[in-house]
């Protein structure tokens, strides 16, 4: 089994990461922003898996599992925040929460 | 197997593009699930079956269910979709797309330099190996992850209770 | 018994601490008990120490008490140590004893004042500081006392601080003496860097070895110390603060601006006389300044209307006599005059205070008159003080001390007769101005209602000081009159005796007779002009004399001169410098930070996506540097 060139695997990861990034920056809806962050985290996990596969070591998967844990914790807190914000502001517009304006 | 990788990659990228451009949250979530499943098959191709299973169960399963749950609680209807459409303007994509282009260029430059002789997925790493490594040298990371999850749990509980003073 | 020495400054200091810490919460009787009692006990201890010192003199005629090491830096190890020798003994005795009498007087004089406790706290601190000054074995400790005295002077001159004029007088005193103090500090540093110590005995030992007489360094050191002495002792050109210092309560004037503090300069010069002998030019300057000051202040005193200002100028003038004596090398005479002056000047101030208290705080002598009948005690004591100040022959203490100074000036090698003549003219004018005050205030027509209302606490100090003002001079009499030499014998261990000029006792008697005649003539002139108002006195009303009168009234225009030459240019410069270039730099910093704030705050949109976008841009830039660089 010849396998896949590592650069291809990483390229897919980067494309997914960049798409997630675009989503975070372009969307105003908080739910979509959070989804985009999930995409980015998943892309990072993919990069770890690819790297781990290149060296045939379990470490890549371990890192992926840690990323997964992080994503789970992040989503639970993030969604709770979105709910709280929605109750307070009656909107999901990220630009509406601009009290930190200088 | 090689073909499977490229097909999965194409599906992942396309469904992600669809996910971030949808106006309806439920549609976006469904595309996202597709994207995650495609990623799972990439993992499998790369010789990480354990990770692929976890991706399906936890990511595409648990986390996405959470999203669906929240979308349901927010009770976003037709009005929200129309509102979302009005927010999605072509002009909004210019800046992020430019940043993305720069990122791609930088990474492509790095990957081009190391494109030869690196192949991944020749060996399959089973769950056993992952488990041995996990509860061996990475034990501290497991403990830290548990604390992180606990913190996430506490925070979500606290935030989810709402403002009791009201 | 000499080991009790440290208690003399410590007791007033303790009194100060008690009064200061209770901050006026003690009842008035307790305040008086602490304030007067501490100085009284100090005086008793001083008497015990004196008795012990005189009956069984310690070895080498001095007693040194080391309390603790103050600082230890390399070779600089000043100690907090007291040194009792005949000179500091005399000073200590006068300070504690006269100080005690003035405190006793104040306890009644200041009764009912809302700052009663504050007053005694400051007075006690003053006595403590002055004692530290005179007992210090080290110039650094001396300087600490010196500054403490300056501080108390400031506090007490501005005692009635509600009147801004009093605050201004206090500041003036502080700032003017500060000029001298600065010179003194520079002098101390010079001495330390050149001689490696500030301990007085070692200094006096090393100075003649290190420097030949008349050397530039010795001259500079002496000149700088003289600067400090001039400021504290209100001599030309730093004399302007003293007349204004009369803004304080009368006992303050008596204690600080007559009896003790202003003599600190005299003490300093006497203490470091070795340095001044190494610098003949400076010693001559001391004499010249003394002579000039005594004349100038005497003429000013002649023209004052304010009772206390007469006495203030008189103080400047009398200290001029002491400087004259110091400059002439008649060290003992200077200290002798210090002692008698402390007696009679305190007496004069206290008597004047008693008079003014009884007539409703009136200060203008021309609104008084004929008071002798109503206030016999005040009159008698003022008369005694005046007689002593005018040096009326034979019966007064001032006569003996002033005579010693004049004789010292006459026989001194430098400028002798000229200095003597200045002193003689000064003696004449002194007699005129003080008896002008006596005649105008106590004789003539009664112009103001007076009610005698002083109790024993005012009467006793007046009585005791009267006795001292008359009898205090008999410890030292000239050859022609009994030839008592107790005082100079006491001091000869510390201060060199004057080079005896071979002068026949007849000459001395003649000189003395001339001086006595001058004093009596002065009294007579005052009698003719101010009491009898003889025809010739109308010359005083001519415009030329009036102009001179105004000139002298203003103290020879020194205030005016300093205002024009120093204060106004300084204020002008300060005004000019208000918006200086350096400020512009700091304003520029403030301005640029304000502008950049305005721009940077626009980047703070409060939108999380905006922040994320810049975060990404920054990360990409960092990656670009890592990848391409």
- Token output for B31: 């595309």
Q: How confident is the model at residue C414 (pLDDT cuts 50, 70, 90)?
A: low
Residue A25 contacts B, CB cutoff 8 Å: yes
Q: Which residues contact residue C442 at a Cβ distance below 8 angstroms, ignoring those fewer than 6 apart?
A: C368, C369, C370, C371, C372, C379, C382, C383
Q: How confident is the model at residue C607 (pLDDT cuts 50, 70, 90)?
A: confident
Q: Which residues contact residue C618 at a Cβ distance below 8 angstroms, ignoring those fewer than 6 apart?
A: none
Nearest to C606 among A24, A33, A98 (CB): A98
Mean of all residue pLDDT scores within chain B: 86
Report the residue of chain B nearest C609, measured CA to CA: B96
Mean of all residue pLDDT scores within chain C: 84
- Token output for A83: 């709910």
Nearest-CA neighbor of B29 among B61, B68, B66? B68
Q: How confident is the model at residue B124 (pLDDT cuts 50, 70, 90)?
A: confident
CA dist list (Å): B135 to A59, B123, B150, C357, C563:
12, 22, 19, 99, 90
Report the residue of chain B nearest C623, measured CA to CA: B106
pTM of the shown model:
0.66
Residue B23: pLDDT over 60: yes
Q: Do B99 and C620 touch (CB under 8 A)?
A: yes
Report the residue of chain B nearest A20, measured CA to CA: B20
Mean pLDDT across the stretch B118-145?
86
pLDDT of residue C595: 94
Residue B36: pLDDT over 90: yes
State the Cα–Cα distance between residues C518 and C264, nearest whole angstrom.
29
DSSP states of C575-604? HHGGG-HHHHHHHHHHHHHHHHHHHHHHH-
| pLDDT one-digit tens code per residue, C235-245 | 888 888 888 88
How far is the alpha carbon of A34 from chain C, nearest alpha carbon, in Å? 12
Nearest to A21 among C601, C605, C616 (CB): C616
Buried b (16+ CB within 10 A) or exposed e, C73-107: eeeeebbbbbbbbbbbbbbbbbbbbbbbbbbbbbb
Please give the distance of CA C152 from its chain centroid, rounded to a whole number.
11
CB contacts, 8 Å: B98 with chain C: none
Q: How confident is the model at residue C499 (pLDDT cuts 50, 70, 90)?
A: low
- Find which of C612, C614, C627, C628 to mutate to test the B interface (most B CBs within 10 Å of its CB): C627
Do residues B73 and B160 lie in contact, with contact meaning Cβ atoms separated by under 8 Å?
Answer: no
Residue C262: pLDDT over 90: no
Do residues A89 and A96 lie in contact, with contact meaning Cβ atoms separated by under 8 Å?
Answer: yes
Residue C520: pLDDT over 80: yes
Do residues C101 and C464 lie in contact, with contact meaning Cβ atoms separated by under 8 Å?
Answer: yes
Q: Do A101 and C604 touch (CB under 8 A)?
A: yes
| pLDDT one-digit tens code per residue, C313-364 | 899 999 998 988 888 888 888 888 888 888 889 999 998 888 888 887 777 8
Mean pLDDT across the stretch B10-17?
94
Do residues A66 and B141 lie in contact, with contact meaning Cβ atoms separated by under 8 Å?
Answer: yes
Residue C500: pLDDT over 80: no
| pLDDT one-digit tens code per residue, C167-222 | 888 988 888 888 889 999 999 999 888 888 888 888 888 888 888 877 888 888 88
Mean pLDDT across the stretch C424-435?
88
pLDDT of residue C501: 54
Q: How confident is the model at residue C246 (pLDDT cuts 50, 70, 90)?
A: confident
CA dihedral C50, C54, C58, C63 (to 10 degrees): 30
Q: Do C602 and A97 touch (CB under 8 A)?
A: no
Mean pLDDT across the stretch C95-115?
88
State the Cα–Cα distance between residues C385 and C382, nearest whole angstrom.
5
State the Cα–Cα distance between residues C182 and C189, nearest whole angstrom.
11
Mean pLDDT across the stretch C473-487?
72
Residue C55 contacts A, CB cutoff 8 Å: no
State the Cα–Cα distance between residues C31 and C119, nearest whole angstrom.
10
Q: What angle do CA C281, C283, C285 make, to 5 degrees?
A: 70
pLDDT of residue C185: 92
Instruction: State the first-to-last Cα distance of chain B, in angstroms, to the nearest integer.
Output: 58
CA dist list (Å): A72 to A25, A69, B50, B52, C140:
22, 5, 18, 16, 75
How far is the alpha carbon of C599 from chain B, nearest alpha carbon, in Å? 22
How far is the alpha carbon of A66 from chain B, nearest alpha carbon, in Å? 7
Q: How confident is the model at residue C525 (pLDDT cuts 50, 70, 90)?
A: confident
Mean pLDDT across the stretch C250-277?
85
- Token output for C77: 């190890």
Q: Do A26 and B92 touch (CB under 8 A)?
A: yes
Residue C552: pLDDT over 70: yes
Q: Which residues contact residue B142 at a Cβ distance below 8 angstroms, ignoring those fewer than 6 apart?
A: B134, B135
Residue C618 contacts A, CB cutoff 8 Å: no
Mean pLDDT across the stretch B127-145?
89
- Token output for C489: 């014998």
State the Cα–Cα distance between residues B108 and C564, nearest whole angstrom.
82
Residue C606 contacts A, CB cutoff 8 Å: yes
Segments of chain A scoring below 50 in pLDDT = 1
- Give the ipTM: 0.90
Nearest-CA neighbor of B27 among B88, B86, B71, B73? B71
Nearest to B106 among C613, C617, C624 (CB): C624
CA-based torsion, C121, C124, C130, C131: positive or negative: negative
Do residues C294 and C429 lie in contact, with contact meaning Cβ atoms separated by under 8 Å?
Answer: no
| pLDDT one-digit tens code per residue, C569-588 | 888 888 877 777 777 888 89
Residue C302: pLDDT over 90: no
């Amino acid at each position: 089994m010849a396998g896949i060139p590592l650069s291809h695997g990483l390229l897919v990861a980067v494309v997914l990461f960049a798409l997630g990034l675009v989503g975070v920056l372009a969307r105003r809806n908080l739910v979509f922003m959070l989804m985009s962050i999930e995409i980015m985290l998943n892309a990072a996990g993919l990069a770890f898996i690819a790297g781990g596969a290149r060296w045939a070591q379990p470490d890549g998967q371990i890192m992926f599992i840690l990323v997964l844990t992080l994503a789970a914790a992040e989503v639970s807190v993030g969604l709770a925040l979105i709910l709280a914000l929605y109750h307070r502001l009656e909107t999901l517009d990220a630009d509406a929460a601009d009290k930190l304006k200088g | 197997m090689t073909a499977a990788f490229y097909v999965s990659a194409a599906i992942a990228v396309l469904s992600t593009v669809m996910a971030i451009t949808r106006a309806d949250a439920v549609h976006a979530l469904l595309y996202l699930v597709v994207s995650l499943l495609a990623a799972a098959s990439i993992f499998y191709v790369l010789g990480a079956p354990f990770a692929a299973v976890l991706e399906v169960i936890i990511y595409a399963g648990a986390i996405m269910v959470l999203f669906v749950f929240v979308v349901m609680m927010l009770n976003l209807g037709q009005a929200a979709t129309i509102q979302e459409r009005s927010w999605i303007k072509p002009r909004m994509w210019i800046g992020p797309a430019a940043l993305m282009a720069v990122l791609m260029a930088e990474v492509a430059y790095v990957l081009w330099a190391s494109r030869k002789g690196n192949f991944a997925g020749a060996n399959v790493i089973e769950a056993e190996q992952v488990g041995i490594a996990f509860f061996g040298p990475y034990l501290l990371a497991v403990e830290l992850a548990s604390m992180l999850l606990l913190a996430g749990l506490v925070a979500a509980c606290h935030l989810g209770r709402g403002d009791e003073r009201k | 018994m000499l080991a009790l020495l440290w208690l003399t400054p410590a007791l007033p200091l303790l009194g100060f601490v008690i009064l200061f810490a209770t901050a006026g919460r003690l009842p008035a009787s307790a305040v008086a008990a602490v304030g007067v009692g501490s100085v009284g006990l100090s005086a008793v201890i001083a008497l015990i120490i004196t008795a012990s010192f005189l009956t069984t003199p310690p070895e080498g005629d001095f007693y040194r008490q080391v309390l603790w090491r103050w600082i230890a830096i390399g070779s600089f190890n000043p100690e907090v140590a007291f040194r009792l020798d005949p000179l500091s003994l005399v000073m200590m005795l006068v300070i504690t004893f006269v100080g005690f009498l003035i405190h006793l007087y104040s306890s009644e004089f200041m009764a009912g004042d809302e700052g009663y406790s504050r007053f005694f706290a400051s007075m006690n601190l003053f006595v403590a500081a002055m004692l530290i000054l005179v007992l210090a074995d080290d110039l650094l400790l001396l300087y600490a006392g010196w500054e403490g005295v300056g501080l108390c002077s400031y506090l007490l001159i501005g005692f009635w601080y509600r009147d801004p004029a009093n605050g201004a007088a206090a500041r003036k005193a502080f700032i003017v003496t500060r000029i001298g103090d600065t010179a003194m500090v520079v002098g101390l540093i010079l001495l330390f860097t050149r001689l490696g110590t500030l301990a007085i005995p070692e200094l006096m030992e090393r100075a003649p070895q290190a420097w030949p007489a008349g050397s530039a360094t010795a001259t500079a050191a002496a000149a700088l110390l003289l600067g400090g002495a001039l400021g504290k002792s209100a001599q030309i050109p730093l004399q302007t603060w003293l007349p204004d210092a009369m803004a304080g309560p009368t006992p303050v004037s008596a204690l600080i601006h007559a009896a003790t503090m202003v003599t600190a300069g005299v003490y300093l010069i006497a203490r470091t006389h070795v340095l001044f002998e190494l610098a003949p030019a400076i010693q001559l300057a001391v004499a010249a300044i003394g002579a000039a000051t005594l004349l100038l202040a005497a003429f000013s005193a002649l023209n004052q209307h304010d009772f206390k200002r007469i006495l203030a100028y008189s103080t400047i003038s009398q200290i001029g006599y002491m400087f004259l004596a110091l400059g002439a090398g008649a060290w003992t005479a200077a200290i002798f005059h210090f002692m008698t002056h402390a007696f009679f000047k305190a007496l004069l101030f206290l008597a004047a205070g008693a008079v003014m208290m009884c007539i409703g705080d009136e200060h203008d002598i021309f609104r008084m008159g004929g008071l002798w009948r109503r206030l016999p005690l005040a009159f008698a004591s003022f008369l005694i003080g005046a007689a002593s100040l005018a040096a009326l022959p034979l019966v007064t203490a001032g006569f003996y001390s002033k005579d010693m100074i004049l004789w010292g000036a006459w026989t001194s090698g430098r400028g002798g007769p000229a200095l003597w003549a200045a002193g003689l003219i000064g003696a004449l004018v002194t007699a005129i101005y003080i008896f002008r005050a006596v005649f105008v205030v106590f004789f003539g027509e009664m112009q103001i209602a007076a009610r005698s209302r002083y109790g024993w606490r005012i009467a006793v100090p007046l009585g005791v000081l009267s006795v001292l003002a008359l009898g205090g001079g008999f410890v030292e009499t000239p050859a022609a009159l009994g030839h008592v030499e107790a005082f100079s014998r006491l001091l000869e261990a510390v201060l060199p005796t004057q080079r005896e000029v071979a002068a026949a006792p007849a000459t001395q008697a003649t000189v003395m007779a001339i001086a006595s005649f001058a004093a009596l003539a002065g009294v007579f002139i005052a009698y003719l002009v101010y009491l009898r108002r003889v025809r010739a006195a109308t010359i005083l009303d001519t415009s030329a004399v009036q102009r001179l009168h105004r000139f002298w009234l203003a103290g020879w225009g020194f205030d005016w001169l300093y205002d024009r030459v120093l204060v106004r240019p300084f204020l002008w410069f300060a005004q000019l410098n208000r918006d200086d270039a350096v400020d512009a730099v700091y304003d520029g910093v403030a301005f640029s930070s304000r502008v950049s704030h305005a721009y940077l705050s626009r980047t703070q949109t409060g939108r999380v996506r905006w922040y994320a976008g810049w975060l990404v841009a920054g990360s990409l830039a960092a990656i670009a540097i890592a990848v391409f660089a």
